[in-house]
Chains A and B, each alone.
Chain A
Amino acid sequence: MKKSLSLIAALSAAVYFGPLAPAAYSAENQDPIKLTLHDWTGQLLTTKIMGEVLKEAGYNVEYVQADYIAQFAGLKTGDLHVAMEIWETTGREAMDEAVATGSVENLGETGMLAVEEWWYPAYMKEVCPGLPDWKALNDCAEEFATPETAPKGRYLGAPVTWGGFDDERVEALEMDFEVIHAGTDAALFAELQSAYQRKAPIVLWVYAPHWAPFKFDGEWVEFPEYSKECYQDPSAGINPDMAYDCGKPRGPIWKVSWSGVKDKWPGAHKAIKAFNVENDEMGAMVTKVDLDGKDLDGVVKEWMDANKDRWNGWISK
């Protein structure tokens, strides 16, 4: 049967000759540029937008599913070419290490700003009126307790692989909270949704741009402001003996590429460097896909149609 299957395929290949599309213009090289896709919607949108723009410029684009941190191995060897979202907050370390080898190039900011911080739903303000101040949060830690953590409050942190120094933060700020790490971001937001449906107490790690702050009404906890010294120098900040006694850094989301991209596809290199979108723009698109259930490719197309001049500017020579 297998035989007849391939026979069919071969025959059908011989029978239909589709109309040959007119050859497009101007790409230096028809080898595929490989863009990496990860598993959160914002990144898929950013990457697909970049990919579509490059296609318009005549490049051959290929999307490859790859892990966020593991991809650096591929970017160094040239197996993968472009990663569109490396967050200052979670990816900085891996990115710096890769850039230092000389095989990976930082192509600058995407224009989006990453926010990652403790977050609570608005209804918690009634229980704990002093919010969003972190001291007030600490005073009503017991409101956030569960049987496993009582009398301490329960803080649902991000997957351990994301870093974030929450265990250190709780210790340095002497907070009465226990950090529970969710294994994945799906589990993280599953708990938020569950608590929100019941109006149950919860404080957890949320990040933006993401659909959650759009869908659920809530606020970021205000910690002492982040500074480099606070993370590196124990004596800085409230606690004289420990580092991490402040909030999380907020920072840009970076674009990186294999360093060979510059010579192999100079035009594409320029276009990726020029790529720029903003938080609100991205947040709106993420909401359309994740909350309104719109097709991702459709949302990308919508953006492409609405912003012709902008992306034409990125690819014009």
Chain B
Amino acid sequence: MSLANPDSSPAGPNPARVNLTRFNPMGAPLWLALFAVTWVFSSYGREFSRAIDARWLMKYPAGWRLPFKRDISDAMKWLVEDATFGLFTFKEFTRGIAWLIELPYDFVRAAVIDGFTIGVGSEASQIAPSLSWIAIIAVVVAIGRVAKDWRLAALVGGCFLYLAVFGQWDSAMVTLASVLISVPIGVAGGLLLGIGAYRWPTFDRVLRPILDLMQTVPVFAYLVPILFLFGFGPVSALVATIIYAMPPMVRVTTLALRGVPTEIREFGSMVGCTRRQMMWKILVPSAAPSLMVGVNQVIMLSLNMVIIASMIGAGGLGFEVLSSLRRLDIGAGLEAGIAIVVMAIALDRLSQAFAVRPTPTHDEIESLQQAGLIKRHPWGTTVLAVALVTGLVGLMLPAVQSYPASLTLTTGPFWADLVAFINVNFFDQFEAAKTFMLTWLLLPVKRFLLGIPWPWGIAIVALAGWKFGGWRLGLLAGGLALFIAANGLWDKAMVTLYLCGVSVLIASLIGIPLGVLSAENERANRIVSAVIDTLQTLPSFVYLIPVVMLFRVGDFSAMIAVVLYALAPAVRYAAHGIRGIEPQLIEAGIVSGCTRWQLLRKIKLPLALPEILLGLNQTIMLALSMLVITALVGTRDLGQEVYIALTKADSGRGIIAGLSVAAIAIILDRILAASARNARARLGLAE
């Protein structure tokens, strides 16, 4: 979720201009005064508004609300029922797209799990079984070998073997099928949009805010319209996945194309390339390694979506996680969750290996062309042979076709016992810690934010925007805040802000030290990255339920889930910031006799500040994107509003609440990006 302008990554600092003593964050007295005023308003606003009989100060009057909700619902209705292009209706058009996506999806599903059939219903008969589990493992092992080496092959083979041994094979293959469809579509679409944005600056300007919205509006908000337009079933889930996973690919494409060295471009013009040849034969191939970063993001985000997708009909591992947790089978939920992680690891490593694969030299290609079919495609033919043999043997020996159920393992009882043990023996300690946090941190913050009268809240937001980024940003921030209030969502937005704010604070307090630690110590780095990678790909629902068992339903449980999920960027950016510091600067510190602690506090941390701020930005974005999930444990924020709208199939309500989440995200993102820019300028780091 890179909302921050990614091309503003720090270039080398200009040591001559570094002036650390001038490190004075943004005119502290002004902000302290503002805070004090806000505090007074927040504490006495309610009584005051009652005293002068101006209740509208605290509660946005219903009569002033904008009718957006209804308008959007009506527009949606028109789109689904009446909109037409003359020859065909809009709905027929979207259903046509759905059909186009469903065809390859059905084919892939048949190949990996369902088997091929002819005829429908009771007249259906199978003409060919699906690939056997052995064949599929052979395929991924071969891909691993071709992409890199035997080590990678063993890793991905092991990952898929896990799926078979822990009884997740069938669901995993359903998930694999949807990933195999959504990823190519997301990549191709992202590539084309990115090329468009690269070529036409106007298109780029229009596209940017749309991408911001695609990344910040919670998926639940647009699920209902998607269900109406694309029908119930796996296709709608695929469409939602693609919308969610595509934006990074667009951004990466534009950046990667801009980053192609001018020499290469000039070479292209010299040999007389047409525009099209220039794009597809020169620019895209030379940007390929960077493009693969985008592909990797699309894969990761697609797998992030499997839980939500399973709620609207995708099935697969996401459904397995949900249904195990509904019967409180924590072990089974964890195993299915780990299966998602394992699949993410396998696909991630494969895509990365392809990104750095050396291209064959001219001689190699020539010698291959003279060789026979088998020599030319050694892995293809091997895999084909395995598929055929196991397929034929599988007709007689079912264990070869599908992994025998009797050989599957489960660790379910262990996890159930573990949670029960902790619950029975340590509940009181947990309860005490929780009560402490609630009384001294969560509740005061909540009371403070909810007490702020909305007109003052909007003023503060606008002021902050203006202070950090000029009058344009001030106007944007104030306008977005007004949008939230005008839709009657002010209180829920404040609860959102409180929950995210506290979680981000705690995530930063844990994450930044961890990031510093892993930048300084290689072994710590390995452990920390493994943990945060897992936390990001493991569906949060898996740990949400044990958290509820130990901490009960409520804000505290939600906060823990948000912190766990949003920790990663805080760690990564802090580590990245510290590693990126010019060694001369550190040496200068050592020479002037800094102790280790001084080195860290006076040189490393201030210099890494812009990066840390970007990390904070990302932490906030992830925290906001978790809101919908925390609504599942009963928070009363915008996430809940989106969730209620989903279950009531109310498009207008969901979209408005979703846009409000996006508004909060955009305000915070712009203000933080501006202050990161300011910090960088202050430190004399080049833009």
Contacts and interface: CB of A to CB of B under 8 A. Distances in A.
A21 B117 CA distance: 11
B545 A12 contact: no
B634 A182 contact: yes
B635 A183 contact: yes
A61 B121 contact: yes
Given A161-B643, A180-B554, A148 B438 contact: yes
Given A74-B231, A197-B424, A160 B126 contact: no
Given A16-B128, A74-B231, A187-B553, A30 B120 contact: yes
Q: From B119, B120, B232, B388, name the one whose CB has the most chain A CB atoms within 10 angstroms.
A: B232
A8 B143 CA distance: 14
Contacts of A148: 438, 554
A91 to B, nearest CB: 11
A60 to B, nearest CB: 2
A48 B122 CA distance: 16
A40 interface: yes
A182 B634 CA distance: 5
Interface stretch (A101-109, A130-138, A188-196, A308-316): A188-196
Contacts of B232: 34, 36, 64, 66, 71, 74, 79-80
B633 A183 contact: yes
B577 interface: no
Given A65-B312, A148-B438, A184-B633, A1 B128 contact: no
Interface string A117-158: 000000000000000000000000000001110000000100
Contacts of B311: 39, 65, 67
Contact of B126 (A18, A27, A67): A18
A225 interface: no
B503 interface: no
B314 interface: yes
A180 B122 CA distance: 49
B647 A65 contact: no
Interface in B635-687: 635-636, 640, 643-644, 646-649
B664 to A, nearest CB: 20
Interface of B: 107, 110-111, 116, 119-129, 131, 135, 139, 142-143, 146, 224, 227-228, 231-233, 310-315, 319, 322-323, 325-329, 377, 380, 383-384, 387-388, 391-392, 395, 420, 423-424, 427, 431, 435, 438-439, 541, 544-546, 548-550, 552-554, 630-636, 640, 643-644, 646-649
A65 B128 contact: no
A186 B325 contact: yes
A69 B648 contact: yes
Nearest to A55: B122
Contacts of B122: 23-24, 27, 30, 55, 58-60
B131 A24 contact: no
Interface in A47-87: 55, 58-61, 64-74, 79-80
B101 to A, nearest CB: 16
Q: Please list the 6 inter-chain residue pairs (A to B) with the smallest Cβ-Cβ separation, ordered nearest first.
A: A60-B121, A24-B122, A65-B313, A194-B549, A183-B632, A183-B634
Given A16-B128, A20-B125, A193-B549, A66 B327 contact: no
A184 B640 CA distance: 11
Contact of A183 (B116, B123, B550, B553): B553
A181 B634 contact: yes
B559 to A, nearest CB: 13
A177 interface: no
Given A30-B120, A198-B424, A186 B383 contact: no
A185 B640 contact: no
Given A4-B384, A39-B322, A183-B633, 12 more contacts: A1-B143, A9-B131, A13-B116, A15-B392, A27-B121, A40-B326, A41-B327, A60-B121, A73-B228, A182-B634, A183-B634, A186-B326
B640 A160 contact: yes
Interface in A206-244: 211
Contact of A18 (B125, B228, B377, B431): B125
15 contacts: A16-B128, A17-B128, A23-B123, A24-B123, A34-B232, A64-B232, A65-B319, A66-B232, A70-B647, A180-B553, A182-B553, A184-B632, A187-B544, A194-B427, A198-B423
A5 interface: yes
Contacts of B435: 147
A266 interface: no
B312 A5 contact: no
Contacts of B646: 67, 70
Interface string A251-289: 000000000000000000000000000000000000001
A201 interface: no
A18 B326 contact: no
Contacts of A100: none
Contacts of B552: 146, 191, 194
Q: From B111, B128, B131, name the one whose CB has the most chain A CB atoms within 10 angstroms.
A: B128
B322 A160 contact: no
Contacts of A21: 123-125
B391 A15 contact: yes
Contacts of A64: 232-233, 313
A197 B420 CA distance: 7
A1 B143 CA distance: 7
Contacts of B383: 4, 8
A23 B120 CA distance: 10
A41 B319 CA distance: 12
A249 interface: no
B112 to A, nearest CB: 9
A304 B119 CA distance: 25
Given A13-B116, A190-B548, A72 B127 contact: no
B76 to A, nearest CB: 11
Contacts of B127: 13, 16-18
Contact of B548 (A5, A6, A191, A289): A191
Contact of A7 (B110, B124, B384, B391): B384
A36 B231 CA distance: 13
A100 to B, nearest CB: 16
Nearest to B315: A65
A64 B139 CA distance: 30
A177 B554 CA distance: 16
Contact of A211 (B322, B327, B387, B392): B327
A41 B328 CA distance: 12
Contacts of B135: 8
Interface string A157-189: 001110000000000000000001111111111
A190 B328 contact: yes
A11 interface: yes
A186 B135 CA distance: 37
B107 A9 contact: yes
Interface in A18-35: 18-21, 23-24, 27, 30-32, 34
Q: From B119, B120, B122, B648, name the one whose CB has the most chain A CB atoms within 10 angstroms.
A: B122
A148 B431 CA distance: 11
Contact of A68 (B131, B387, B631, B647): B647
A185 B319 CA distance: 15
A88 interface: no
